[in-house]
Amino acid sequence: KPLRYIGTAESLLAKLEELDKHVLKKG
């Protein structure tokens, strides 16, 4: 399995979660 792809996907999801938290705080 493409471990690199999995790691990248997890990183992107983590970034999206962080962005969502910031947006919720601003909202």
Of 27 and 22, more confident: 22
Checking if the pLDDT of 3 tops 70, the result is: yes
**Confidence (pLDDT) at 20:** 93
Q: How many helices (H) and strands (E) does the chain have?
A: 1, 0
Minimal CA–CA distance to 24: which of 10, 16, 14, 9?
A: 16
Give mean pLDDT, residues 12-19.
Answer: 95
Checking if the pLDDT of 17 tops 90, the result is: yes
**Confidence (pLDDT) at 1:** 65
Q: Which amino acid is at 19?
A: L
| Count of domains forming the chain | 1
**Confidence (pLDDT) at 11:** 95
Range of the domain at 4: 1-27
Checking if the pLDDT of 9 tops 70, the result is: yes
